Amino acid sequence: MSEKIAPFHLAILIYMIQSGVTLYKLPRMLAVNFGTNGWLMIVIVSFIVLVNLLLISFVIRFRIGENVFEIMEGLIPAKVMAPFYLLLAITWSLLAVLVSKDFISINQVLSLQNTNSSMLIVILMILTFYLGVKDIYTISKATNIFFLLTIWMSLLMIYHVPYTSFLRLTPFIFKEGKNAAEGIIQVYTAFLGFELVLFLFPYIDQSKPKWFRSVYFGHMITTAVYTLTCFVSYLYFSLDQLKITSYPVLNLIAYVEIELIERIESFVFTLFLMKILVTVVLYIWASCLLLERVIPKLSRKQSVAFLIISGLLLSLKINVMADVENWLLILGFVAVGFAVGLPIILLIVIGIRTYRGDHRA
């Protein structure tokens, strides 16, 4: 019997998947799209994500004992579902590669200007391959270690408290914003990763009936980190400064003074690689499940290699930082559609199967 993921470790896993490189540009996104006191949108969008998680919890509650594939194929033949599985697998693998390229692009600006970006992406993909071929329990254990090595970075925001001013918040809410509707979707993409729990629940220790609470807990950790970071950013910078600063959080960290480290922002961002690796590996892992459902004969190594190579080939001409961000935004919107739509579709399938007399529902 294979080992299962404990609920506490699941909470850490959800937080590590959700929290990505978007954190460093999130205050600018809020300032541009929502204007004054835009940090409040973190709380609002977080609540919307909680509703999305509630739908996922209904899927798990009403279809105990079946995984996502068995739910869908109980109504729709596997051959009909194959193109959808393949499309979702390719989309997530491309998203994973673009997240990696986004991280590397920023890292090059900070400290690796003379290093070839292609070499860096290959190194990151090799790390992804070696962790991605492991079982999910091993990936979860590695994630716990990465969590302990990176969670302290959120506490760096406390350093700026003496230099902040509440006057910068102003009494106005969401004034001077540009595009609130698009901004909500952009902020929603910062929380993506929670949808992978749909593929995780067969591997979770379900001896505790309320284990899904750990998913909510992991999401709330992400919300707390995002809210603290963006709130401090609004207190530290003016609204106009936030709008023109590409990566406000990196600027915040750059002001932290530690005697042993000359450029702490480079050190912190390089260490952030661990969180990026978790996000990339989990999206590749979920993509492997989808691909192996279409082609059962594939081994895990073959699946991971195929998806990584496919993602690299599809993003071959997407290397400029602006292009990477634009494509990430497009794929982020698509991923939001999957995150919202997939649990709704599964609930509809469950309802139809129940109506037809499928007593397993």
Residue ranges of domains in the chain: 7-347
Dist CA 282 CA 274 (whole Å): 12
pLDDT of residue 19: 84
CATH 3.30.465.10 fits 7-347, yes or no: no
Of the candidates 262, 3, 306, the one whose C-alpha atom is nearest the C-alpha of residue 139 is 3
Would you tell me how many other CB atoms lie within 10 Å of the CB of residue 224?
Answer: 14
pLDDT of 361 > 50? The answer is no
Strand partners, 261: 258
pLDDT, residue 172, reads 81
pLDDT at 360: 52
- The CA dihedral of 229, 234, 238, 243, to the nearest 10 degrees, is 70
Question: Residue 114 and residue 279: Cα distance in Å, rounded?
Answer: 27
For residue 123 the two structure tokens come to 């190194």
Q: What share of the chain is helix, strand, coil (3-state, %, to 5)?
A: 75, 0, 25
pLDDT digits (tens, 9 = 90+) for 114-166: 667 778 888 889 999 999 899 898 999 999 998 888 888 888 788 777 777 78
- Summarised one tens digit per residue, pLDDT across range 163-220 is 777 877 888 888 887 888 888 999 999 999 899 999 988 888 777 768 889 999 999 9
**For residue 6, what are its two tokens?**
């404990």
Interval 258-278 mean pLDDT? 75
Residue 155: its pLDDT value, please? 81
Report the distance separating Cα 20 and Cα 24, nearest Å. Answer: 8
Q: pTM to 2 decimals?
A: 0.91
The Cα–Cα gap between 58 and 187 comes to 24
